[in-house]
């Protein structure tokens, strides 16, 4: 039996997927999360036997090499057995150079390093894991899968911002993100509801990072995110769409420099900024504070407005799909978004929504509504399996 590892790096967490790769395809063996903010470190790992908490003695260093080396020792000793034949990584930004998964070599890593300013929190975190794996397992094939690649099908008009042509040609354009999640949803619809999959659909990936994607014939036509992972709808701590004049005000009137503004944009806005209470929508939904209610209402209103904008790109709306942590598990958010979209014919069954059913639309809805769990790790593992054999 052969195994494939998948890493999904965040700025302070590492998500791990473990897959068996055999003649019958891929089988998930387990998944884990390592929160680098904790001391001591603990890997929360779940497999068929249940949940395991694995202490990690190594402390996080700049390159994470000791943490990854210890993690690999533990994985090697698991009863799952089998040789690790390759490792896949979620890399947020592929820029214009990468439109498909790629085997990572020195040249590819150098090109991806150069894109770090476009995704300052995510890109370095992903590449740090690549380097840690190179140090721990020299020669092990590593494959990068990109959140931007799925959106390379956008029409040139969609990718362009109203800026001088030279900047656009230099790469300042709308890219779109969360592409691995949207790819999974598009493929899942094609597997399970092929007739619906060909229609005009907006997918709402709602988590701590959140965005929308317009799908038609299973292909990405537009996205709420643009040049960076800051654009579009509000998120846990990011503002989403923001008048550029606000940044000028912060520089000229508040005296903030680029580093301070970057921190503000990524850590102090969104649900956290509006509520002043929490970045977690679950906490806000349970709060009686008017600021919490306003943050939730703004979140849902902006999502609905974004859906309507993408329906304009598509020339109509046949379907709406909710996915990711909030989209999969928080019925009040789904309900409020759909209420704002009633004018487009969206109507959901309250009982089905409360029970987190897959099919959410009511008999009166002119738009089909689904809740589909996403699986970015499987998309990466499938790409790795294709490239290593």
Which three-class secondary structure string do you get for the chain? CEEEEEEEECCCEEEEEEEEEECCEEEEEEEEEEECCCCCEEEEEEECCEEEEEEECCCCCCCCHHHHHHHHHHHHCCCCCCEEEEEEEEECCCCCCCCCCEECCHHHHHHHHCCHHHCCCHHHHHHHHHHHHHHHCCCCCEEEEECCHHHHHCCHHHHCCCCCHHHHHCCCCCCCCCHHHHHHHHHHHHHHCHHHHCCEEEEEEECCCEEEEEEECCEEEEECCCCCCCCCCCCCCCCCCCCHHHHHHHHHCCCCCHHHHHHHHHHCCHHHHHHCCCCCHHHHHHCCCHHHHHHHHHHHHHHHHHHHHHHHHHCCCCEEEEEHHHHHHCHHHHHHHHHHCHHHCCCECHHHHHCCCCECECCCCCCEEEECCCCHHHHHHHHHHHHHC
Find out whether 80 and 29 touch, Cβ atoms under 8 Å: yes
- Give the C-alpha separation, 179 to 77, whole Å: 34
Active site amino acids: 147
* Alpha carbon separation from 40 to 14, 27, 37, 267 (Å, rounded): 15, 31, 9, 24
Would you state the structure tokens that stand for residue 339, as one six-digit string? 């209420």
Question: What phi-psi label fits residue 158: left (phi over 0), alpha (psi between -120 and 50 degrees) or beta?
Answer: alpha
Find out whether 40 and 57 touch, Cβ atoms under 8 Å: yes
């Amino acid at each position: 039996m052969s195994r494939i590892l998948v890493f999904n790096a965040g700025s302070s967490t590492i998500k791990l997927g473990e897959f068996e790769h055999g003649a019958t395809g891929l089988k998930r063996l387990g998944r884990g999360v390592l929160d680098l903010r904790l001391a001591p470190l603990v890997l929360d790992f779940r497999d068929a036997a249940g949940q395991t908490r694995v202490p990690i003695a190594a402390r996080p260093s700049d390159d994470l090499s000791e943490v990854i080396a210890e993690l690999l020792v533990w994985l090697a000793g698991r009863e799952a057995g089998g040789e690790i034949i390759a490792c896949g990584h979620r890399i947020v930004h592929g820029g214009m150079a990468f439109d498909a998964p790629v085997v990572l070599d020195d040249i590819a890593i150098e090109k991806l390093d150069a894109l770090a300013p476009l995704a300052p929190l995510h890109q370095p975190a992903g590449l740090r894991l690549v380097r840690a794996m190179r140090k721990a397992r020299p020669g092990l094939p590593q494959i990068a899968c990109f959140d931007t690649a799925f959106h390379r099908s956008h029409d040139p008009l969609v990718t362009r911002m109203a800026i001088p042509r030279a900047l656009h040609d230099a790469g300042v354009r709308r890219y779109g993100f969360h592409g691995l999640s949207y790819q999974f949803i598009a493929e899942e619809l094609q597997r399970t509801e092929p007739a619906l999959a060909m229609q005009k659909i907006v997918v709402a990936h709602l988590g701590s990072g959140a965005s929308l994607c317009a799908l038609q014939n299973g292909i990405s036509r537009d996205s709420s995110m643009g040049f960076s992972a800051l654009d579009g709808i509000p998120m846990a701590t990011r503002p989403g769409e923001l008048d550029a004049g606000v940044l000028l005000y912060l520089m000229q009137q508040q005296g903030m420099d680029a580093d301070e503004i970057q921190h503000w944009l990524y850590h102090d806005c969104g649900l956290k900024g509006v509520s002043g209470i929490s970045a977690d929508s679950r906490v806000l939904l349970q709060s009686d504070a008017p600021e919490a209610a306003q943050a939730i209402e703004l979140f849902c209103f902006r999502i609905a407005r974004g859906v309507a904008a993408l329906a304009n790109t598509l020339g109509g709306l046949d379907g709406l799909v909710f996915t990711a942590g909030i989209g999969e598990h928080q019925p009040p958010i789904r309900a409020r978004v759909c209420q704002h979209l009633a004018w487009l014919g969206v109507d959901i069954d309250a009982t089905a929504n409360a029970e987190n059913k897959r099919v959410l639309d009511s008999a009166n809805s002119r738009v089909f509504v689904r809740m589909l769990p996403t699986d970015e790790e499987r998309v990466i593992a499938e790409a790795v399996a294709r490239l290593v054999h």
